[in-house]
Structure formats: C-alpha cells, structure tokens
Amino acid sequence: MIRRYLELGQVVGAHGVRGELRVNPWCDTPDFARRFKTLYWDKNGEQPVTVLSCRPHGNIVLLSLEGVTSKEAAEALRGRMLYLKREDAKLAPGTWFIEELIGCEAVDADDGRRYGTLTDVSRTGANDVWHVTGEDGKEYLLPAIPDVVIDADVAGNRVLLRPLKGIFDDAD
C-alpha cells in the first residue's frame, strides 16, 4: 500500500551540546536521509520540521533540526520517529520502500496462486529475504532476486513471485 508519509528513522539520542540528534535510519544507507529539507514528527505530515543539516555518522545520521538547540531538547526527543514525505523521495525503478511492501499479497506470477502475505523483510549481505506468511500461519523465506520477484505493485497491494522449487511445496 502506498503511503504518503513513511518512517525515516528513530531518534536514539543527542550528539554534542548544540541539539544535534542521533537518528537510526530505516533506509538502505544513512546517506539517503541527506535528500530531505523537511521531515515530519507525525505520520500524517501535520508537524513539519526543517532540516538544518544532515550527515552520516557510521550507521546513524546526525541531524540538526530547526528549534532543537540544546542537548536537553535533543534528549527529550529520544524515541520519537521522524517521517519523510514519499513524493520527496526519488526511487530507482524496481525499488520499493519496505514499509510499503509489508502487508502485500504474495501471488504466483504464472498461475495467480495466492501464497500468503508479505510480513517482513530481512536485510542480508547478498540480497534481501522476504518473509511470506501463508494462510496456515507457516512462514516461508524467499530471496528477493529478479528471478523470484517478478513485480511489486504496492499500489495494488500485491507482489508477483516465481518462487524457487521447494519453497512452497516439497518439489525436488
């Protein structure tokens, strides 16, 4: 399902004494967060905040936001989620936000068979692994590679798969 506002990451603390925030980003790389001049404190986009500076710092992001000028103010925001406006994020064709994939119906690309619902995505070194939960509650793991993931239609809330033999059945 396409959402207008998506989670960018969570504030995990302060950095320094001038109100800079340490943010654990949910994106592929911390550098992705540098694209945004405005972020939001809510998932409806009703509480915008201007980004004054943003820089990767290891696997986190250091953000300076308008109105946050002290270590105490930054620490008070610990645990808060920051959101981005989807239309401000430019994604390459064939890439999707994980948050939008979760909940999509997993369907066979060839015969329309329903496998279940995409319930999670694990990040691995080689490729992502999609977790599909079947009607029986059993979890199936699929490599998110071009041979398996044929298409993702997040607007239509479904992903088309051509699973490897043996994932959903006991075929050799």
What would the two tokens of residue 24 be? 């654990």
Q: Are residues 103 and 70 in the same domain?
A: no
Q: Are residues 77 and 112 in the same domain?
A: no
Residues β-bridged to residue 118:
132
Q: Which domain holds residue 16?
A: 5-87
pLDDT of residue 30: 81
SS3 content of the chain, % helix, strand, coil (to 5): 10, 40, 45
- Local structure of 143: helix, strand or coil: strand
Model confidence at 26: pLDDT above 90? no
Q: Which amino acid is at 29?
A: T
Q: Are residues 83 and 114 in the same domain?
A: no
Q: Are residues 16 and 68 in the same domain?
A: yes
pLDDT of residue 22: 97
Fill in the DSSP letter of residue 17. T
Distance CA 19, CA 71 (A): 5
Q: Are residues 32 and 68 in the same domain?
A: yes
Q: Are residues 13 and 45 in the same domain?
A: yes
CATH code for the domain of 9: 2.40.30.60
**Is 15 a domain residue?**
yes
pLDDT in tens, 64-82: 999 999 999 999 999 999 9
Number of residues assigned to the chain? 172
**Is 12 a domain residue?**
yes
C-alpha distances (whole Å) from 99 to each of 44, 83, 113 are 15, 12, 24
Distance CA 84, CA 71 (A): 24
How many domains does the chain fold into?
2
Which among 119, 113, 150, 114 is positioned nearest to 132, based on CA atoms? 119
Mean pLDDT calculated for residue range 103-120: 95
